[in-house]
Structure 1
Amino acid sequence: MTTAPPRPATRAAAPRRRVLAQAGFETSTLLRNGEQLLVSLVLPALVLVGLHATGSPSLGPGRRIDVAVPGVIALCVISASFTSQAISTGFDRRYAVLRYLGTTPLGRGGLIAAKVLATLAIEIIQIAVIAVIGVALGWQPDLGGIPYAVLFVIVGTWAFVALALLLAGTLRSEAVLALANLIWVLLLVGGGVIVPRTELPDGLASVAALLPSAGLADGLRSALVDGTLNLPALGVVVVWGVLASALAARFFRFDD
């Protein structure tokens, strides 16, 4: 009687492959979700067209379309990296999807990295669409500031994904759904995103200056309107990213 040779133990894939595989899954899931695409792409596009077609609210000095497009790009980043990720992660946690992921070698750090990569993939589509619409409406960005704008998109995505995971990993899915949408509306109205914080009432402008939304939008406007790197705005976004990442790593729960 012959005995079959023992099968070699299955080893986990390399960390890079694990993150890329999860990022691909996250990207395909977001692209198939019509509700998330509505928030991430359709609404920002409508906001841009509406800003171009009207003279209100005031966007401050400069050509209106040139000031509007960076703000709408910031809105795209917030929509994709915060609102969509918070809601999708919250319901994945509710339906035990994250519990199964928690038993894999992916881990919290790999999950955050995969979600950042997936969000960046979605944002490439968003920004391309907004840029085409903006150019059609007369947008003339400062091309020298594009590398700075890319930096702000990457750092802003990291900060808002970390905030989304902090929210989705600590609250029940129903609360995440309500809060994520409420925060999106509040940032849109008074977070220095569409309307520059310099155009907000003094008290609100002071609060907005400390928010990652205003830091992201201010940085994008400085880059694409003036071609400059806004270091104070970058500092605000980085601080939020560091704090949110640390808190998410500490308090994120894979089960509901």
Structure 2
Amino acid sequence: MTTTTASAPAPLLRRVAAQARFETVAMLRNGEQLLLLVVLPLMGLAGLSLTGMLDAVVPPGAERVDVAVPGVLALCVLSNAFSGQGIQTGFDRRYGVLRLLSTTPLGRGGLIAGKLLAVLAVLAVQYVLVAAVGAALGWRPGVLAVLVSVPVLLLGAAAFTGLGLLLAGTVRAEATLAVTNLVWVLLAAVGGTLFPAGTLPEGPAWLVGLLPSGALGQALRETFLTGAPHPLPLLVLAVWAAGAWAGAVRWFRWS
């Protein structure tokens, strides 16, 4: 009589890396996601840089592309961490994928870690593409500004990933799809993402500055135009990130 022994699961880091790779490829191979993650941001970059829509907010000594690139990078975070992960997670939850994966050796923590790494991997691809197109349009950022922009983007990604998961884990997948698309349009247009909050009347501008989109857009523009962001938008992003993840931990439903 022979006995068989089950093979041991792969180490945790390898499991998380495999899940992150799967999530990244799934996002980049999906035509609708690719449109949201890459095509629309790059179209926005070209439009803002080649037309006069930003002329009123371009500071002396800067070019349109210098204001456009930070806004488009903020839009990339919104597209990737909020809309992309929110929609994908919402439908994974609807079809029972999340519940099944959470019972595997990957576990719930490993699944969330894989999603976070996938967001960062896609964001790296977006950054490279936006920087390449920006450079072709005349963007010449300082090395220090590029380095400082990385933690700012990471903080923004943390806030929007938390918000995306909170939404995907509490409402139906169809509602997640509708809400994320609507919020994407609103925040891109009047949420301080592509256009500085200063272009709005004083009252709405103050409110937009308290949104995660407005805070991220402001922090990135300050980083690339002056070398470092002011503390207030970073604080706003940190508060949104903490609140979103606290809400996701409390109310996220796996099925």
Normalised by the shorter chain, which TM-score bucket?
over 0.9
Cα distance per residue 1:149-192 (max 9 Å; x no partner): 00011111111111111001110011001000000011011111
Q: CA shift at 1:229, angstroms?
A: 3.6
Contact 1:143–1:224 (CA<8 Å) still a contact in 2?
no
In structure 1, what is the equivalent of residue 187 of structure 2? 187
**Hey, what's the Cα distance between the residues in 2 that align with 1:59 and 1:113?**
39
In structure 1, what is the equivalent of residue 211 of structure 2? 211
Q: CA shift at 1:45, angstroms?
A: 0.5
Q: CA shift at 1:248, angstroms?
A: 0.7
The amino acid across from 2:155 in the alignment is V
Instruction: Select which of 57, 60, 64 maps to 1:59.
Output: 57
- State the aligned residue count: 252
Task: State TM-score, norm by structure 1.
Answer: 0.93
Contact 1:92–1:98 (CA<8 Å) still a contact in 2?
yes
In structure 1, what is the equivalent of residue 112 of structure 2? 112
In structure 2, what is the equivalent of residue 26 of structure 1? 23
Structure 1: any 5+ residue segments left out of the alignment?
none
In structure 2, what is the equivalent of residue 69 of structure 1? 69
In structure 2, what is the equivalent of residue 36 of structure 1? 33
**Hey, what's the Cα distance between the residues in 2 that align with 1:152 and 1:107?**
29
The amino acid across from 1:59 in the alignment is V
Structure 2: any 5+ residue segments left out of the alignment?
none
Contact 1:162–1:241 (CA<8 Å) still a contact in 2?
yes
In structure 1, what is the equivalent of residue 200 of structure 2? 200
Q: Which moved more, 1:28-37 or 1:15-24?
A: 15-24
**Hey, what's the Cα distance between the residues in 2 that align with 1:108 and 1:204?**
39
The amino acid across from 2:78 in the alignment is I
The amino acid across from 2:176 in the alignment is V
In structure 1, what is the equivalent of residue 235 of structure 2? 235
The SS at the match of 1:152 is: helix
